[in-house]
Structure 1
């Protein structure tokens, strides 16, 4: 896939919607492919009409969100291909995201 992408002048990829297998990062480093690494945080489809708050607003979810981001960064931090860290896909925004930054 990377050879085909480079042949078509594609130079960047976004990992959707969680960190990928480590071999993918090694190959992106080798082929000079830029990457957006994305944490496994996704809350789209969350029903805000219920009495429960969105997870990004709930302190009880802060540790779990932080754990996922730290795990991703610690695992992948030495890969030259990574140009951006994503804090999740369609995961709203709130104090928990501010704490992650």
Structure 2
């Protein structure tokens, strides 16, 4: 299992559109094959910056999602709202304390 972190920055006037869309598709993303966890964060000091944080069973699961019609729908809508290029990282969790 690995973690995918995506940083997105939006024009302020587009934030409500992004949040409304995310709310409508979050369960579909979470229900994607191999997805085990999904969260959305908003930067504490810059409200235009958001992060998605998700757990995937395998890289193939993430790539299958990225090739899906759902991802195409999500990304086509979301990328129109950006004010900066998105960034993404795939990382392995080394330590977790709960």
Q: Check whether TM > 0.5.
A: no
Instruction: Give the TM-score normalised by the residue count of structure 2.
Output: 0.29
Instruction: Give the TM-score normalised by the residue count of structure 1.
Output: 0.28
